């Protein structure tokens, strides 16, 4: 292992060692996941969107149910958005469902139902960023493309930069130096799997790691992690249960429970008590702001308004109603 760090310091011999050891580890430890048994770009896109900020074990049943309900990109593109949001129920981050359908519509309308096979074109799809575009290009079409998610970035950063804080540009350059041409599917899957199972964020198995002799972080990893855990315990912040994302999720949950044939929706005054304990009329502007944000994201629709009597003005005033789009 070299004392220097960075892509310029990686010798060809060290690159070869990292490649061989990581690919061998993957052959022995790769999990049998449903999206690894296909080269269908649609199924791979579904899996990648679902896997954003969600653990693999939780995604598997949702993925299988989703592709059974919508087996092709055309089926998803033609589905009512409200139904797509309902089948997504329980997976969280509901905006992903809407973005996934928007991407399906774009494939159907702009590309004639056939997925583009280059990451640059895939990035033009709604809600598809650099990582997702690279994943579809690599895992569906086996294109030689370098991309990074959280796990991949952590593995490359530790291997090449130790416990420092390299920039995204530096990590991407290092990942490019390590990339074995013609092995895109196996290599990128291996990086993801290694970060998920071996080189984890909080408890990396460094002692039994096949790459520890190639890794800049190995000598000081345990002391660095101990320092980070101590610093994290000192931090305080607002709990998730008071965040806008938490309440947005509760709103969508209520809307999902409405009868699918009911387009009238629910009045804000009825919605509020189901979203937040102690809800009062003074909270209506806050609730309406959340609903309007959900509408902008394609997760809700503000329906017709219902008249009510405004005691402050002695006039009839409307309460908005909201439903799934």
Return the bridge partners of 319, or none: 306
Of the candidates 243, 240, 239, 255, the residue with the CA atom closest to the CA atom of residue 97: 255
- The arithmetic mean of pLDDT across residues 307-318, rounded, is 43
CATH number of 241-323: 1.10.10
28 is annotated as an active-site residue: no
- Strands across the sheet containing 315-323: 266-267, 315-323, 301-310
**CA 78: distance to chain centroid?**
23
* 240-262 per-residue burial string, b: 16 or more CB within 10 A, e: under 16: eeeeeeebbbbbbeebbebeeee
**pTM for the predicted model, two decimal places:** 0.78
Q: What does the H/E/C string look like for 252-310? A: HHHHHHCCCCCCCCEEHHHHHHHHCCCCCHHHHHHHHHHHHHHHHCCCCEEEEEEEEEE
> Which pLDDT tens digit goes with each residue over 161-180?
998 889 999 999 999 999 99
Q: CA–CA separation, 25 vs 198, rounded Å?
A: 10
Residue 239's contacts (CB-CB under 8 Å, 6 or more residues apart) are none
Asked if domains 7-222 and 241-323 share a fold, the reply is: no
Say whether pLDDT at 204 is over 70. yes
Among positive and negative, which fits the CA dihedral 181, 186, 188, 193? negative
More confident: 57 or 258: 57
- The arithmetic mean of pLDDT across residues 284-306, rounded, is 80
Q: CA–CA separation, 178 vs 78, rounded Å?
A: 42
> Which pLDDT tens digit goes with each residue over 211-222?
999 999 998 887
- Give residue limits of the domains in the chain: 7-222, 241-323
Residue 290's contacts (CB-CB under 8 Å, 6 or more residues apart) are 244, 247, 248, 251
Q: How does strand 315-323 pair with strand 301-310?
A: antiparallel
Of the candidates 308, 285, 306, 289, the residue with the CA atom closest to the CA atom of residue 297: 289
Q: How does strand 266-267 pair with strand 301-310?
A: unpaired
> pLDDT at position 233, please?
60
Q: CA–CA separation, 158 vs 51, rounded Å?
A: 23
> pLDDT at position 238, please?
58
Active-site choice (16, 28, 48, 227):
48
Q: CA–CA separation, 129 vs 98, rounded Å?
A: 15
- Tokens 């919605």 correspond to what residue? 271
Say whether pLDDT at 282 is over 80. no
- Read off the pLDDT band of 10 (50, 70, 90): confident
Q: Are 201 and 154 in contact (CB under 8 A)?
A: yes
Q: Are 253 and 230 in contact (CB under 8 A)?
A: no
More confident: 99 or 291: 99
> pLDDT at position 8, please?
62
- DSSP string of 97-166? HHHHHHHHHHHHHHSTT---SSHHHHTTSTT--HHHHHHHHHHHH--------HHHHHHHHHHHHTTS--
Return the bridge partners of 323, or none: 301
- Fold classification of 7-222 (topology level): Endonuclease III; domain 1 (1.10.340)
């Amino acid at each position: 292992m070299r004392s220097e760090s960075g892509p310029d310091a990686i010798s060809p011999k060290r690159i070869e060692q990292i490649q061989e050891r990581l690919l061998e580890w993957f052959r022995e430890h790769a999990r049998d996941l449903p999206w690894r048994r296909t080269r269908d770009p649609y199924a791979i896109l579904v899996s990648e969107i679902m896997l954003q900020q969600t653990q693999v074990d939780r995604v598997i049943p949702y993925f299988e149910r989703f592709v059974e309900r919508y087996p092709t990109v055309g089926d998803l593109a033609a589905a009512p958005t409200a139904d797509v949001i309902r089948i997504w129920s329980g997976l969280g981050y509901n905006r992903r469902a809407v973005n996934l359908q928007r991407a399906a519509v774009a494939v159907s309308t702009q590309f004639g139902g056939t997925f583009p096979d280059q990451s640059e074109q895939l990035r033009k799809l709604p809600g598809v960023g650099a990582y997702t575009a690279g994943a579809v290009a690599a895992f569906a079409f086996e294109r030689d493309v370098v991309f990074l998610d959280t796990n991949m970035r952590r593995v490359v950063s530790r291997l090449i930069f130790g416990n420092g804080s390299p920039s995204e540009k530096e990590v991407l350059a290092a990942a490019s130096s390590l990339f074995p041409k013609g092995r895109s599917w196996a290599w990128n899957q291996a990086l993801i799997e290694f970060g998920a199972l071996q080189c984890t964020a909080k408890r990396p198995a460094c002692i039994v790691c096949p790459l520890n002799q190639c890794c800049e972080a190995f000598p000081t990893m345990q002391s660095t992690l101990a320092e980070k855990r101590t610093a994290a315990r000192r931090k305080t912040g607002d709990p998730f249960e008071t965040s806008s994302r938490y309440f947005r999720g509760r709103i969508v949950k209520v809307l999902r429970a409405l009868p699918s044939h009911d387009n009238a929706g629910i009045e804000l005054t009825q919605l509020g008590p189901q979203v937040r304990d102690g809800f009062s009329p003074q909270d209506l502007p806050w609730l309406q702001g959340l609903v309007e944000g959900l509408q902008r994201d394609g997760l809700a629709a503000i329906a017709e308004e219902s008249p009510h009597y405004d005691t402050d003005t002695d006039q009839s005033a409307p309460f908005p109603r909201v439903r799934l789009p």
